[in-house]
Amino acid sequence: MRARPLGRTNVRVSTLGFGAAPIGNLHSAIDDRQAQLTLEAAWDVGVRYYDTAPHYGLGLSERRLGDALAHRPRGEFTISTKVGRLLEPHPAPTGSDLTTGGFAVPDTLIRRPDYSRDGVLRSLEDSLKRLRLDHVDIVYVHDPDDHLDAALGHALPTLVALRDQGVIGAVGVGANTVAPLLRVVAEADVDAVMVAGRWTLLDRTARPLLDACAERGVAVVAAAPFNSGLLSRTYPASDATFDYGPASESALRRARHLAEVSARHGTALPHAALRFPLRDPGVACVVAGFRTPEEVVSAARWAATDLTEEAWVDLDTAAARVAEVRSS
């Protein structure tokens, strides 16, 4: 699988990145063996970039990822984790994190927002222990929307200092919304932004962000290309999810129209969805979440095969039309 540079850094990422939230039991549980088989399948098809976070399964994702990569040559893979949420003992656990955090794990820990220098250093130290590593390549400030001043004033300068000391390879910010990322790109010394769900076949609202990143030499990592499920099937079903909640009738109609256009060109909606972000030269890679080996194998095949120019023209036209209807 092709590797690309992450902006102006020496860090390289595979075209397809492994999003490790599902192996942290996002929405429903999988066992350790399934997680390991899925990670093995990713390695076998050439995936060499793995993204995780303490938030994912209250550390379970990091532990499972660390176990899977422990026997791999450290110089052959790139790994990113995130800071901004400290894991601390839960004073009154209820038994499950599903309702609060969305992960099917015991809620023996809680997440406490902390974007301070000490919080960042402690979070990174804890992540390294769970990952069984002495360093990570990329560190993102995680979802700083409601803590943007603290992220800009404390978390990011701390990470920049670590990068300048050679402790980490690249500094980034990850979010599901465009506005905070635009401010970060304008005001901070970052190498990359991870934008989730806003640069997809269906939702292209990150266009101003991509333009701003191109002007400043900041790499874009496009995450959640399936919009958390809506674009992951050949024809979206009525129970499809969009941005981690039930898809609206409007979103379903738009996605089904794109599915029909894809089918007319002999391809499938998830293929078009996975390839779409990679069309922009500013996008270093696309990161998708996987919970089975079969999902990994399909995604690797899609990532390696582009659509025809005629298909992209029709899909772009269809996306523009549904956007016009939505805004009218």
Q: How far apart are CA 287 and CA 214, in angstroms?
A: 19
In degrees and rounded to multiples of 5, residue 324 shows phi and psi of -65, -40
Q: How far apart are CA 34 and CA 12, in angstroms?
A: 27
Dihedral of the CA atoms 49, 30, 297, 237 (nearest 10)? -110
Residue 244 annotated to the active site = no
Task: Note whether 103 and 109 are within 8 A (CB).
Answer: no
Question: Active-site residue among 50, 56, 115, 140?
Answer: 56
* Chain centroid, CA 308 distance in Å: 26
Which tokens belong to 170? 């690249």
Q: How far apart are CA 69 and CA 320, in angstroms?
A: 42
> What stretches of 178-258 adopt beta strand conformation (E)?
192-196, 219-223, 241-242, 245-246
Distance from the first to the final alpha carbon of the chain? 42
Q: How far apart are CA 253 and CA 238, in angstroms?
A: 10
Q: How far apart are CA 172 and CA 191, in angstroms?
A: 6
Task: Note whether 181 and 173 are within 8 A (CB).
Answer: yes
* Chain centroid, CA 221 distance in Å: 7
Q: How far apart are CA 300 and CA 2, in angstroms?
A: 11
At 173, is the secondary structure helix, strand, or coil?
strand
Neighbours of 36 (CB within 10 A): 15
Q: How far apart are CA 277 and CA 107, in angstroms?
A: 35
Which residues are known catalytic residues? 56
